[in-house]
Chain A
Amino acid sequence: MIKFDKVTKTFGSDGQEVHAVKDVSLTINKGEIFGIIGFSGAGKSTLLRLVNLLERPTFGKIIVNEKEISTISQTELRKLRSRIGMIFQSFNLLSSRNVAGNIAYPLKLAKVPKDKRDERVEELLRFVGLEDKVNKYPEQLSGGQKQRVGIARALATSPDILICDEATSALDPETTEEILNLLKKVNKEYDITILLITHEMHVIRSICSRVAVMEDGKVIEQGNVYDIFSNPQSKTTRNFISSVLNDNLSPRLLDRLHREHSGNIYRLIFTGGVSSKPIISQIAKKYNLDFNIMYGSIHELQDQLYGNLIVELIGTDSIVKEAVNELREIVEVKEVLGSESRLDHVLA
């Protein structure tokens, strides 16, 4: 478990202070995969480095595994760091050591005897699927392979926390998927708590259970990934979400739809179990309405479905209104944008 309690980190001194992290309170539960998303400069990288004290907090408390860490001694710090594995965007492997040497490095630091070291290295190579690369040097590996070595190295001392600093940002989409799957496996098989930072929403969507959105040093929104995706509160969060759930129509298409269709256009958002029920056809039958589905998408988020439809309701105004009211009430439709509020709103 990691707990940030009103943590602030300031760089520089009088007059030239930079507040990288401002009054952040967060709790990362044991065994979960927690993501922090933000644009570069949002302070997420500093926040991550506070966990293993690569940066020290200016104010506030950080509790790792029930222990307040900002006041610990050098010996305890070394112990703490061996409980926290870390992987990086640029992998940061030692170019002078081969794959086995890199994975064994933290064990050497911890003075683990050679036979135990070799055993552990072999085990980890199997886990990350690089048995055939033992004697290769980092520059002979692809990006994905380097990150696998990075993960194996981070796991060498059997930590209970893994922190990931943009671990997939330097990788192509396919390799990103592989590495994310490997992280999922790390989380499941070793029950390791993972705290990751990223600027890519699809990383959050694929593996995180909870997420915090950071902007300008502050956590502006946090919660369940499903809740954040289905009901984002801030503009920044909406922007991040629209990068993966592209449910906005292009202005040109909207314009054309508007010209071609005279009925009332609504956006229906389906969340939770509702997305698998035949709501539209039920309503259509009941009110004798015609539904014209103009645009739609259904996404899977944390094993739940999340649907988004733009529909045209064709019927008399009063019947449409009644139907919309029923939609709002019974079926947990989260948001309905009326055509009277102009189409730009659908865009927003």
Chain B
Amino acid sequence: MKVDWTTFWPKIVEALGETIIMVILTLLIASMIGIGIGLMFFVTREGNILENKTVFSILNILVNVIRPIPFIILLVAVSPLTRTLMGTTIGTMAAVFPMTIAASFAIARVVESNLVSIQPGVIEAAQAMGANPVQIIFTVLIPEALGPLILGLTFITVALIDFSAMAGTVGGGGLGAIAMSYGYQRFDTSVMVVTIVILIVLAQGAQYLGNYLSRFFLRR
């Protein structure tokens, strides 16, 4: 049975809204967590401003354990935890939890690799001027890494659009759920095409915005 497009459009629009909410919410929460972990990861590294072997090793293990798990597996694996924390495993909000876990660690890696590319001499110069570790984090590390960091976050955003679609297959809402249940399970090619086009436009839009912002902050 093919869908009736006159009544189906509102459904698409609603799903699009859910996707956008999932992505933005996840991006906001995961950025905060991820930037935090990434900074900790960097500053506790050997020889760095807050060198701490214990913290570094714990973070390193955590990042290395979580990162390689395919998202679809993580999604299912953390579902008991999702139920405890969010009360349900179904719907948009329930999808945000596993997406946040995956995105936080991905962002942590991105942040860390951007920080590594800062010239160590710049940090040394700030120290020589009397900056303490907290001042170095906020006045040197974050501003210096911001341009490339925004590009990294853009990459993550596009990945999140992908994640949100996957979450849709296991009970999360959004365009992924529509594409799965109408396009795939009911063999309705028109739904498939429409959702794919919308997802492409979303990803393109995110990329465009990210490029614009990073150019602005890189000042090049």
Partner among B122, B127, B217 whose Cβ is within 8 Å of the Cβ of A94 = B122
Is A169 on the interface with B (CB-CB < 8 A)?
no
User: Among A102-110, A226-234, A283-291, which stretch is in contact with chain B?
Assistant: A102-110
Please tell me if the beta carbons of A96 and B130 are within 8 angstroms of each other in the complex.
no
User: Cβ of B129 and Cβ of A96 under 8 Å apart?
Assistant: no
A52: which B residues are within 8 A, CB to CB?
128
Interface residues on A, range: 20 to 34
Q: Is B80 on the interface with A (CB-CB < 8 A)? A: no
B-contact 0/1 string along A132-160, CB 8 Å cutoff = 00000101000000000000010001000
Q: A108-B139, A139-B220 are in contact. Are A86 and B128 (CB under 8 A)?
A: yes
Contacts of A347 in B (CB 8 A): none
- Tell me the nearest residue of chain A to B131, going by C-beta: A109
Chain B contacts with A in 5-35, Cβ cutoff 8 A: none
Interface residue A82 (Cβ < 8 Å from any Cβ of B)? yes
Q: How many A-B residue pairs have CB under 8 A?
A: 61
Q: A81-B129, A92-B121, A96-B143 are in contact. Are A109 and B219 (CB under 8 A)?
A: no
Residues on B with C-beta less than 8 A from A96 are: 143-144, 146-147, 217, 219
Greatest chain A CB density within 10 A among B122, B124, B129, B139 is at B129
Interface residue count on the B side (C-beta < 8 Å): 22
Q: Is B1 an interface residue (CB 8 A)?
A: no
The answer, yes or no, to whether A97 is at the interface (CB within 8 Å) is yes
Q: Is the CB of B143 within 8 A of A94?
A: yes
CA distance A198 to B128 in the complex (A): 19
Closest A residue by C-beta to B142: A96
Q: Bound complex: CA of A274 vs CA of B132, how far in Å?
A: 56
| Cα A54 to Cα B120 with chains together (Å) | 13
8 further A-B pairs in the complex, CB-CB below 8 A; given A81-B129, A96-B219, A106-B129: A54-B127, A84-B128, A86-B128, A92-B122, A93-B122, A95-B144, A96-B144, A105-B139
Chain A positions within 8 Å of B, measured between CB atoms, are: 52, 54, 74, 77-79, 81-82, 84, 86, 88, 90, 92-97, 105-106, 108-110, 137, 139, 153, 157
Which 6 A/B pairs are nearest by Cβ-Cβ distance?
A92-B125, A81-B130, A92-B121, A96-B143, A106-B129, A86-B128
